[in-house]
């Protein structure tokens, strides 16, 4: 039996996002100019109503009201990629980790390049926060939507946390 796929488009501060679901579970989040470009012919028909909760959570994230997505996810990848993507989900909002730290977290300390490759193939941008992974010297390295989008997401998360600290009771 073939999986049923649908998609929708939502606006965001980093441009239009394409959300894809497989059997009604979020399986892809793609930005304009996404690299590597996904095969859009496999996204299925547009079904905006099917993505109401996802659209709400993205709106809350960009408004600074959500720090973790709670959507069911259905990423497709190798066992190693799935392990890396799960490690990415453990990176706290507003913080960063290096590729070597992720390699350590998945028990493969010498697999830094493999971690970077898995990070680059993450099909659930933002929800699985690959934007929070940086180079060992603190440099912002490649991002599927471009380094400027990565910078925007990291700066936005830092601003939200700073605003919360300023307004926290002493």
* Confidence check: pLDDT of 144 > 60: yes
Model confidence at 131, pLDDT cuts 50, 70, 90, reads very high
Q: Is the pLDDT of residue 168 over 80?
A: no
> Looking at 13, 39, 63, which one is the last position of a domain?
63
162: pLDDT strictly greater than 60? yes
Q: State whether 84 and 55 are in the same domain.
A: no
**Any idea what DSSP says for residue 3?**
P
Residue 169 has pLDDT above 90, yes or no: no
Residues 84 and 119 in one domain: yes
Q: Are 58 and 27 part of one and the same domain?
A: yes
Checking if the pLDDT of 170 tops 80, the result is no
44: left (phi over 0), alpha (psi -120 to 50) or beta: left
pLDDT of residue 139: 83
User: Does residue 68 belong to any structural domain of this protein?
Assistant: no
Three-state secondary structure call for residue 40: helix
Which entry of 130, 144, 154, 160 is annotated as an active-site residue? 130
CATH of the domain at 50: 3.30.160.70
Per-residue pLDDT, 3? 80
CATH code: domain of residue 134 = 1.10.10.10
pLDDT at residue 80, rounded to an integer? 97
In this prediction, residue 166 carries a pLDDT of 63
- Answer yes or no: do 21 and 58 share one domain: yes
Which pairing describes strands 97-98 and 5-10: parallel, antiparallel, or unpaired?
unpaired
Q: What is the pLDDT of residues 80-101, one digit of tens each?
A: 999 999 999 999 999 999 999 9
Question: Does some domain include residue 69?
Answer: no
Q: Are residues 99 and 47 in the same domain?
A: no
Report the chain's mean pLDDT, rounded to a whole number.
92
* Whether 102 and 44 share a structural domain: no
**pLDDT tens-digit readout, 1-55:** 678 999 999 999 999 999 999 999 999 999 988 888 888 888 999 999 999 999 9
Domain assignment present for 70: no
The rounded distance, in Å, linking the Cα atoms of 80 and 158 is 30
Give the chain's domain count. Answer: 2
Domain that holds residue 154: 79-167
Classify residue 121 by burial, with Cβ atoms within 10 Å: 0-12, 13-18, 19+: middle
Q: Cα separation of 30 and 40, whole Å?
A: 10
For residues 24 and 99, state if they share a domain: no
79 is catalytic: no
User: Do 16 and 46 have their domain in common?
Assistant: yes
Looking at the structure, tell me whether residues 92 and 162 fall in a common domain. yes
Same structural domain for residues 95 and 141? Answer: yes
Q: Are 87 and 159 within one domain?
A: yes
């Amino acid at each position: 039996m073939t999986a049923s796929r649908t998609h929708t488009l939502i606006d965001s501060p980093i441009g239009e996002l394409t959300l894809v679901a497989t059997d009604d579970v979020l399986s892809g989040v793609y930005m304009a100019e996404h690299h590597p470009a996904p095969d859009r012919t496999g996204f299925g028909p547009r079904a905006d109503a099917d993505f109401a909760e996802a659209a709400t959570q993205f709106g809350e994230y960009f408004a600074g009201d959500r720090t973790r997505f709670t959507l069911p996810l259905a990423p497709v990848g190798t066992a190693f990629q799935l392990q890396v993507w799960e490690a990415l989900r453990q990176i706290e909002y507003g913080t960063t980790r290096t590729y070597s730290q992720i390699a350590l977290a998945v028990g493969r300390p010498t697999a830094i390049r493999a971690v970077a490759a898995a990070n680059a193939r993450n099909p659930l941008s933002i929800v699985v926060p690959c934007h929070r992974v940086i180079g060992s010297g603190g440099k912002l390295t490649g991002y599927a939507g471009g380094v400027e989008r990565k910078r925007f997401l990291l700066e936005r998360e830092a601003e939200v946390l700073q605003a919360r600290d300023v307004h926290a009771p002493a």
